[in-house]
Each structure stands twice: as C-alpha cells, then as structure tokens.
Amino acid sequence: MGPVRGFKRKRKVDKKAERKASAAPAPSQLDVPVDWWDDFSKRITGPLSLSNGLDKFESVFKVSRKTFNYICSLVKEDMMAKPSNFMGTNGKPLSINDQVAVALRRLSSGESLLTIGESFGISQSTVSQVTWRFVEAMEERGLHHLRWPATETEMTEIKSKFEKIRGLPNCCGAIDTTHIMMCLPSVDPSNDVWFDHEKNHSMVLQAIVDPEMRFRDIVTGWPGSLNDSIVLQNSGFFKLCEKGKRLNGKKMKLSEGSEVREYIIGDVGFPLLPWLVTPYQGKDLSESSTEFNKRHFATRVVAHRALARLKEMWRIVQGVMWRPDKHKLPRIILVCCLLHNIVIDLEDEVQDEMPLSHNHDSGYRQQICDSVDKNASILRDKLSLCLSGRLPP
C-alpha cells in the first residue's frame, strides 16, 4: 500500500499515567451503557431523528451494530489514551461509542460540522476534533484490513474468483483511479497543480481491488492534474513490480510451450506492461480482440464498482470538499478505504442493500495512454487467442 501519509507513528502512551494527569473523568468516558443506542438515539435532533431505512441505526451510520462494535473495539485504546474534554450539550463527557458515532456520521454522510453538531448536540469544534482523533486511531489500528495477499493460498483463491467472472487466467487484481473533488480558491496560484483535465480541483485515488471489491493497494495524495500513468509510475506498487518483488508468483500454463505470468488489469488510461494488461485500442479489431475486450471489461468492472461503493457509503469523499487540508485529506481517504474493507471483511449485510453502480467519476472522460511494452503485447495476444480457443494446443 502506498498512501501519502505525512505523519509520524504515534508514540505508545502509558494510559494509567495519562489518566492520573487528566482532569477529565476518564472512567465515565470508558463506561458504555448496555442500552447505548437507545440513549444516544434520543439525543439526536433535527431531520436525522426522522431517518428511515431497513434499520434506523444502519441508516444513520451505514454499518450494522456488529460492525460498529468492532470498529469501537479497534480504536478504543488509542482514542481514550489521550485526555480530552469532549462534552455533549447535556454536560456529560462523550463515551467511546459517542465519539465513534460522531466520526462515522461525519465520514458516511459528508454533512457539515455544523449539521452534525446540531444533530448530536455537540459543538462544531468537537465534531472536528473527534473525527480527526478517529482517523488517527484507524490509521494505527485498522491497516491490517488493507494489504496485498500474503500467502500463495490467498492469491490462488483470488485468481480463481477472477477467472470465474469471464475466464481471465492468473489475474491478480483490477486497477482504477477516481478523483476526490475539492473547492479551492482559484486566486491562489499554488492551487493550479490541483486543477485537473476537467477543470476541477481534485486529488487522485488509485486503487487495486480483488474480486470481492476489497481494496488491496491504494495510492492517494497526488494532484488531479497528473494522468493515471504518471500516478501509477510514482507508486510503490509499480516499483515493486518492476523489481520483480510483486506479481512474481506461479505462472499458468495456457498450452504446450505457452504460459502466462501473474498480472493485474486496467483500462486504456494505463500503460500496457508485462504485469498490467490493458484492452486493445482501435476500431477495426479482430474477432478475438473484440471478445478479449468484452471479457476484460466485465472483469475489471469490480474496480469501478468498488470506487463507486466507496463514494456512496463514505460520502465525505463523494462531493466537492470545501477547502480541505491537503495534508489531512489523503489520510481521510485512506480511512474511508479501511472502513470499506471492514464492511466486506465482516460480511456486513448493509452492503447487500447498496445498489451496484460503476459510475464513480461522473463528468470525467476516459484518459488514453499509448505506452505499449512489446513483451506485454505478446502476452495479451496469447491471452486473447487462449480465450477465443485459437491458441495452438
């Protein structure tokens, strides 16, 4: 994984010492009543108190109670280690569940600090500080939910599931990019680098996903003015592949004397490389090339759907962000990707209620990269002939 982090690993703290030094009543903060949601829901005001859906809890936080409790267990130690004076308007300190609720609502709804503060009875400053503390804790405790497959068995399962989609053999992932739009003052010349090809200020998120729409590698923090191929070439994933340290597993036999290495697939915005297979370009394509492109698209659509689902569930990255801190935004994007994966890893039924869309970059035209590696072109032809049944036995 290669997100732009821009922060130092947090120092492990002595919780007992900090509790003694804290003026805040830590024990009451740590104690969460069994009927927490019953109590918390009564404190919600405004339109949110009238939320409808398959379950009021799930419609507010976009996750089930099981997933919510798991997230609380992940971040509890880090979020409660530091002394704080986070208080509700009722004068009571915010419990760990209260704080996670505030942060999840902020990330899942994309609503303003003011709106969330009014709904939950806390100040805008508290919403901001609690959300950021949550982001820091998730970075520290949730990273194991976003990783490249660590074992041959795990990778074999991924390859098998990709092949079942439309027959692509030995495929290990699908890559795609999306733009996180920002509202930045145009009068500031330093913001020109964020001005993308569609005349929006944006930040790029590059993601490689598995067949279940789980993010396996992400890169973010790069300006929207950079095209997909440049973002790829500056990623840690690219460097590992070029050094033969990734996508270097077992080759698959296609026919006598013909085999295919591990690879990922991407659209025509990426270069055709020995380990990155893109579609054929042009109008007058052969029958086998046309069939290959159809299979290729049907397989890589999981990446489109993953990014669309990310933006739909974690709407803070869906709309146009008002003058965000460009150093903090990559970390917020990373945490949204971690939450996306947690929902999948915990088999949260909430995702089953979400529509399957592949439109994640509305208004953005397809980028074109003409870079073609000769060996990669030979590999793609072999795959094409194999899938059309024309590869000699």
Contacting residues for 38 by C-beta, under 8 A, at least 6 apart: none
Triad 309, 344, 155: Cα angle to 5°: 110
CB within 8 A of 157, min separation 6: which ones? none
pLDDT computed for residue 113 by the predictor? 94
Which tokens belong to 47? 């339109």
- The residue assigned the tokens 């070439």 is 233
| Interatomic CA distance for residues 117 and 91, integer angstroms | 14
Per-residue model confidence (pLDDT) at position 179: 97
- Per-residue pLDDT reduced to its tens digit, 19-72: 333 333 333 344 455 578 888 888 888 877 765 555 688 989 999 999 999 999
pLDDT tens-place string over residues 89-121:
677 889 999 999 999 999 999 999 999 999 999
Q: Does residue 1 have a pLDDT over 70? A: no
Pairing of strands 276-277, 263-265: parallel
Q: What pLDDT does 258 receive?
A: 86
For the chain, domain boundaries = 15-141, 149-325+346-387
Q: Please write the tens of the pLDDT for every residue from 193-228.
A: 999 999 999 999 999 999 999 999 999 999 999 999
> What is the chain's alpha carbon radius of gyration, rounded to the nearest angstrom?
23
Exposure b/e, 135-168, CB count within 10 A at least 16 = b: bbbbbebbeebbebbeeeeebeebbeebbebbbb
**Strand runs labelled E in the chain:** 171-183, 201-209, 215-223, 252-255, 258-260, 263-265, 276-277, 321-322
Q: In 10 A of CB 37, how many CB atoms?
A: 17
pLDDT at 161: 98
DSSP-derived secondary structure letter, 273? B
| pLDDT top residue among 20 and 303 | 303
Among 225, 229, 245, which Cα is nearest to 237's? 245
What's the pLDDT score for residue 53? 52
Query: What are the structure tokens assigned to 275, written together?
Result: 């380990």
Tell me, what's the pLDDT at 52?
A: 52
Which one-letter DSSP state was computed for residue 172?
E
Terminal C-alpha separation, the chain: 39
Q: Which residues pair with 181 in a beta bridge?
A: 202
Q: Are 154 and 172 in contact (CB under 8 A)?
A: no
Q: Is pLDDT larger for residue 69 or for residue 350?
A: 69
Give the DSSP H or E segment for 109.
Answer: helix 96-109
- Mean pLDDT across the stretch 368-372? 96
**Mean pLDDT value across residues 124-147:** 96
pLDDT at 24: 38
